[in-house]
Amino acid sequence: MSSILDLEPKGLWKNFYSLTQIPRPSKKEEKVIAFTREFGEKLGLETIVDEVGNVIIRKPATPGFEDRQGVVLQSHLDMVPQKNSGTDHDFETDPIQTYIEDGWVKAKGTTLGSDNGIGAAAAMTVLEATDLEHGPIEALFTIDEETGMTGAEELKPGLLKGDILLNMDSEDEGELYVGCAGGIDSTGTFTVTNEAVPTAVEAFKISVTGLKGGHSGLDINLGRGNANKIMNALLCVAAKKYQLRLATIEGGSLRNAIPRESFATVVVPAENAAAFAQYVSEFNAEVKASFAEADGGLLVVAEACALPATVIDAAGQSGLFEAVAKCPNGVIAMSKDMEGVVETSNNLAIVKLDGDKITLAALQRSSVDADKEVLAGQIREVFIKAGAEARSHGAYPGWKPNVNSPILKTMKEVYNNKFGKVPEVKVIHAGLECGILGASYPNWDMISFGPTIRHPHSPDEKVNIATVDLFWQYLVETLKNVPVKA
């Protein structure tokens, strides 16, 4: 069986393989930080680890390119830890298992980490190469991009010396990104009372599984199912028709991933048990039909199980159902300036009962900062009216496009000369670090680009092999053509 180590360009795939062997979920990046620092030091290059764990490695210009503008090659070290039900994998200890299928590199039952491992591997390959032509290089490897962008947030001004930022965290080869959405998290917290289980009841475990999930920015417009919304729709009706009481619920796990699964334990009066089971079967058929095209693997089942220890109080249950039902989800508005681009969205990412607390977590994105704040306010109001405490936090700015960017002009020319066509110029409905980094380094001229990656933030994540080679060729040619300093 072919290994990714057999693929071209060999140096890049070798470095990506090394990253797949190092556990690096967000907020657990200690091992990959140490690895990256050791990588730079072994090359004899100036290597810095800042106060939060960002790694900076500097490489001097090659002979004859000393007068070029300095380039910062930027990627993030962390990855989204998502796995399929039944997959035995510990993201804090186990390596990612990769395989090749139909021209794509994939992972066995987990996220692959090509977001942003390919970008990081490309920077590593530039650092160790002896046959490239380029001006001064600084490789910036940030931490915690996926769960708050704290690495970018905490990067100190003045630490880097470059003039141009090449962010290598986009996911469509042949496209250049010059703007992105900002984001903000909104959280609702219910305090509930755990009560004794009513008498003469039967218990069921309800499972919503088989959804594709995906990136809550890139995939939010694809019409995929949200497991939290689907579960709530079932529970709301069943509570009224069959006197259902909720004992446990857990749906979704990451704020920036569309929730693929939700699980709940419920009880219903014994005389309603058969009718409830039939209702779940009918609900499954109905909801599968509604998502047949966008999310055909959806499955909703109810299985008899042991009685739970407690159920939550009726008022807490009602408030939860109301909050989830009324919380906006999916695409809120499309851009009026760029056809086909999502402008504002929300992802109801997490619904989880833990002890006497139920937490709802949602991520709002918008390329218009004011609209992002308005949507966050609306969601807080929904949570508060349903009886929860609510707050918004972790706001980060969008990246405003600069159509007169000099590096944009250069990279369009380079791509046309290299591949015979002009790359598309776009903005992305996702939270790139460029907006945050640009606030600390307003002198930077910024572009984001990368190979073709599909279904990031889900176990279906895959990276197209042919486009990785094109991405690498483009990066090499761009570095060779960076303008001289003014």
78 contacts 456 by C-beta, under 8 angstroms: no
Q: Backbone phi, then psi, for 287, in 5-degree steps? A: -70, -35
Packing angle of the helix pair 314-326, 227-242 (nearest 10 deg): 140
3-class SS at 219? Answer: coil
**What residue ranges in 104-193 does DSSP mark as E strands?**
104-107, 137-142, 164-167, 175-180, 182-191
Which residue stretches of 256-351 are H helix? 273-290, 314-326
Return the biggest CA–CA distance within the chain.
Answer: 84
Q: From CA 209, how far away is CA 260, in angstroms rounded?
A: 6
3-class SS at 445? Answer: strand
User: Rounded to the nearest 5 degrees, what angle is found at the Cα of 253, between the Cα atoms of 252 and 257?
Assistant: 75
Integer-rounded Cα radius of gyration of the chain: 24
67 contacts 163 by C-beta, under 8 angstroms: no
User: Which H/E stretch holds residue 196?
Assistant: strand 194-196
101 contacts 165 by C-beta, under 8 angstroms: no
**What residue ranges in 313-448 does DSSP mark as E strands?**
330-334, 342-354, 357-366, 389-396, 424-428, 445-448
Active site residues: 78, 145
3-class SS at 371? Answer: helix
Single-letter residue type at 408? L
Closest CA to 225 of 275, 163, 292: 292
User: Which H/E stretch holds residue 201?
Assistant: strand 201-209
Q: Which residues contact 85 (CB under 8 A, 6 or more apart)?
A: 209, 261
Q: From CA 219, how far away is CA 111, in angstroms rounded?
A: 15
101 contacts 1 by C-beta, under 8 angstroms: no
Give me 130's structure tokens.
């002896």
168 contacts 162 by C-beta, under 8 angstroms: no
Closest CA to 114 of 74, 160, 79: 79
Single-letter residue type at 333? A
